[in-house]
Amino acid sequence: MLDGTHDAGRRSFVASANGHDAFPVQNLPFGVFSPQGGTRRAGVAIGDMILDLDAVLAAGLLDGAAEDAAAAATGGALNAMLALGAGPRRALRARLSELLAEGSAEARRLSGMLHASADCALHLPARIGDYTDFYAGIQHATNVGALFRPDNPLLPNYKHVPIGYHGRASSVVPSGAPVRRPNGQRKPAAEAEPSFGPSRNLDYELELGLWIGPGNALGEPIPIGAAEGHVAGYCLLNDWSARDIQGWEYQPLGPFLAKNFCTTVSPWIVTPEALAPFRAAQAPRPQGDPRPMDYLWDERDQAGGALDLLLEVFLVTEGLRAKGLPAHRLSSGNARALYWTPAQLVAHHACGGCNLQPGDLFGTGTISTEGGDGLGSLLEITRGGRQPVALASGETRRFLEDGDEITLRATARRDGFATIGFGECRGAILPAP
Ligand code: CA
């Protein structure tokens, strides 16, 4: 799976890419952007710049499968390119790596197709037909369960079934879009009657997102051994959650308005190819846990289906901003804490015949690491709001206040390879309407 595109020694003629913490030439994630005043087009992040993929295609710099992939990426959404699968995507990546390398014969022509990221708007990379949110972070499920059932935090199905629910695609927004505090029904334990108004317990959830590539026909399951091939790439996902609305509405059918008002994703699709050096074995299940059923079990997936990613969450408040203080890091964890691999999520989703479509989005579920530093939500960090976080500004937080800004980051690091990142997944809270 490793090739010249992963060579840590490869440099780019785009100076800001060399040593860039997210987008060196070894990453090359795909997205949709518009330059100032321009239309939506496909792009590739390289350092602090975006390469206009539509322009590269129009200039005749691609051929074969690489050209097919870029041609499918035009029109302001990447769905048709995601549908092509790994072959064309890999060919395009290989050609782009060559074109953007130091000493590239096309450096001069490409320079005219590069835009400063700071001058561009980034959009959702695909039209999302359906969005599904899983619950694969076992530590999160345990922590949240323990708030309600201290003696028996995990429900009996958890270790057998990859738990999930169908979310809302229309309110998924790209990083930077504002997040409006929702109104809804709340009923705190101390109040006799429910009331309607702004959520008082607004939270974030740190998750990975999976972009589905090739789909499957209705009625035809995806075998676990083929599931990986249906994942076109990854992003960060913040499943904003109104805990008070959730607590009142969630039984018996699960989350509804507590989650559907907004979901933020990082705008770049980081490909399985870029992440190949950072695959890891799925953590062995503790003694006594059931072995996954056969339709979820694949030796290759167990040996290398997990992702070794550092995951961090940062909070900026008006108080921190006013005093010129840096963002407060709320957590630092790792994606290896997921109980199910991406391939298992895909195979499970389709096992009953549900058809996945190119551009569908999965959330993994909140990722919390064992131990105190890697908790993926305020619900866990503040123990349901009972232990507020103290900030250097003198402020405290139980949950998010208006004006607060949350940024998720993911970094992939391994000796002998260039470090890559996902770019930011950021959103700031606006007051309720
Ligand atoms: Ca979630």
Helices and strands (H and E) in the chain: how many? 13, 26
Ramachandran region of residue 293, left (φ > 0), alpha (ψ -120 to 50) or beta?
beta
184, 328 contact by CB (below 8 A): no
Would you state the pLDDT for residue 152?
87
Place of tokens 């308005």: 257
Q: What residues flank ion ligand 1 with Cβ within 5 A?
A: 133, 205, 239
Would you state the pLDDT for residue 195?
98
Cβ neighbours around 352 below 10 Å, total: 8
CA of 363 to the centre of ligand 1 (A): 7
Q: How do beta strands 179-180 and 425-430 pair?
A: parallel
The question of whether 140 is a catalytic residue gets the answer yes
Q: Which long-range contacts (CB under 8 A, 24 or more apart) does 149-154 make?
A: none
CA of 365 to the centre of ligand 1 (A): 5
Q: pTM of the full predicted structure?
A: 0.98
Torsion sign (Cα): 100, 102, 106, 109 = positive
Catalytic entry in 6, 115, 123, 140: 140
Cβ neighbours around 133 below 10 Å, total: 26
Inter-CA distances, 289 with 292, 339, 368, 369, 397, Å: 9, 11, 19, 18, 36
d(CA 223, CA 370): 31
CA of 367 to the centre of ligand 1 (A): 9
Quickly list H helices, 202-340. Answer: 224-227, 243-249, 272-275, 299-304, 318-322
Would you state the pLDDT for residue 358?
98
169, 401 contact by CB (below 8 A): no
d(CA 338, CA 369): 9
Would you state the pLDDT for residue 150?
87
3-state class (DSSP) for residue 348: helix
For the chain, helix, strand, coil in percent to 5 are 25, 25, 50
99, 5 contact by CB (below 8 A): no
Domains in the chain and their CATH numbers? 4-123 (2.30.30.230), 131-430 (3.90.850.10)
Per-residue pLDDT of the chain (433 residues; tens, 9 = 90+): 899 999 999 999 999 999 999 999 999 999 999 998 899 999 999 999 999 999 999 999 999 999 999 999 999 999 999 999 999 999 999 999 999 999 999 999 999 999 999 999 999 999 999 999 999 999 999 999 998 788 889 999 999 999 999 999 999 999 999 999 999 999 999 999 999 999 999 999 999 999 999 999 999 999 999 999 999 999 999 999 999 999 999 999 999 999 999 999 999 999 999 999 999 999 999 999 999 999 999 999 999 999 999 999 999 999 999 999 999 999 999 999 999 999 999 999 999 999 999 999 999 999 999 887 999 999 999 999 999 999 999 999 999 999 999 999 999 999 999 999 999 999 999 999 9
CA angle 144, 265, 206 (to 5 degrees): 25
Among 423, 433, 335, 296, which Cα is nearest to 139's? 335
Would you state the pLDDT for residue 222?
98
CA of 368 to the centre of ligand 1 (A): 12
Would you state the pLDDT for residue 19?
97
CA of 66 to the centre of ligand 1 (A): 35
Would you state the pLDDT for residue 398?
98
78, 44 contact by CB (below 8 A): no
Cβ neighbours around 253 below 10 Å, total: 8
Would you state the pLDDT for residue 149?
84
Inter-CA distances, 52 with 45, 64, 74, 97, 359, Å: 9, 19, 10, 14, 21
